[in-house]
Amino acid sequence: MKTFIAATLTAAALAFSASGVHAMGSNSSSPAAEPGTEEIYGKAVKAVEAKEFRAAVEHLNKVIEDKPKHPDALNYLGYSHRKLGDYSKAVSYYKRALALEPEHKGANEYLGEAYVELGDLKSAVVHLEALRKICGTDCTEYKTLKAAIDAARAKAAKQG
């Protein structure tokens, strides 16, 4: 009797799922839809904001798998790797973002900041100048990078 009930329930479940109706009320024919690229990107941004850079990298890698020419995702990959201390990867991702979108304010700012942190003020100033041309001297990205360069110069003058 138990075998008959199990077989009947299995057959009913198969017929139910074949109809495209699922217990959760979905009309979709797939039981669990994969999150879309923009949804994953949104999770990555939240991870960056929460300073959960390893999680951000995982999410961003998925975005780049689907959309390799996503300048914002590349920029955040650079930022996350920089915050994790991997400057080589960070610079590489920033450059990829800028190759796709040369006037990307965030990538110019963050690459400039990476150069400041690496002690390459000459390269940082190149990105400060790019920001001046893109958005002027009143935009946040310009002001932030300029402050980082000025602080590095002041520190060097104090030590020198």
**pLDDT of 2 above 60:** no
pLDDT at 160: 74
Confidence of residue 95 (pLDDT cuts 50, 70, 90): very high
More confident residue, 59 or 21: 59
H/E segment holding residue 24? none
For the ranges 20-24, 36-40, 89-93, the lowest mean pLDDT is seen at 20-24
Task: Give the span between the Cα atoms of 44 and 55, in whole angstroms.
Answer: 7
Task: Give the span between the Cα atoms of 63 and 58, in whole angstroms.
Answer: 9
pLDDT at 33: 54
In the numeric block, which tokens belong to residue 132?
């001046």
Task: Give the span between the Cα atoms of 84 and 144, in whole angstroms.
Answer: 20
- The amino acid occupying position 103 is E
pLDDT at 116: 98
Confidence of residue 70 (pLDDT cuts 50, 70, 90): very high
pLDDT at 6: 36
**pLDDT of 1 above 80:** no
- The pTM score is 0.78
**pLDDT of 41 above 80:** yes
